[in-house]
Amino acid sequence: MIELDFAKQGGLVPAIVQDAVDKTVLMMAYLSPESWQKTLATGEAHYWSRTRQEIWHKGGTSGHVQKVKAVYVDCDHDTVLLEVEQVGAAACHTGHRSCFHHRVEGDSLVTDGEPVFDPKKVYGK
């Protein structure tokens, strides 16, 4: 397996997640050694949920999995870039395609784009 520098940041490595086709940055999440291994072994993105303190198979609830198309490791081996196909078109729990949908305009944030799905319908809450 490819070794990452998990020690540098308390056992986790940040993963930037980018659409493999149009290069939109969809989200950032964190990898534990086990979720890194599962991501490489299964070809679907697995992260470490810092909130729930457990392995998080992205899309396990919603069906909106991320099929990994390419994996890059940075120069310091402490950050990862995943190029993915986002099933269901949206990566954000708000229903927006990207978690980065708040654009800075002067001293304000404006929302770019509309949600792709209704989170209440997908997550039932």
Contact residues for a copy of itself (CB under 8 A)?
A: 1-2, 14, 16, 18, 22-25, 27-28, 40, 70-77, 79, 81, 92-94, 96, 99-104, 107-109, 112
At its nearest, how many Å lie between a copy of itself and the CB of residue 59?
Answer: 17
* Residue 61 CB partners (closer than 8 Å, separation 6+): 123
**Whose structure tokens read 């969809």?**
26
At its nearest, how many Å lie between a copy of itself and the CB of residue 112?
Answer: 8
Query: Angle CA(79)–CA(50)–CA(15) in degrees, nearest 5?
Result: 20
**Start-end of H helices in 9-104:** 33-42
Closer by beta carbon to a copy of itself, 39 or else 65: 39
Nearest to 114 by CA among 105, 122, 98: 98
At its nearest, how many Å lie between a copy of itself and the CB of residue 99?
Answer: 4
Closer by beta carbon to a copy of itself, 67 or else 93: 93
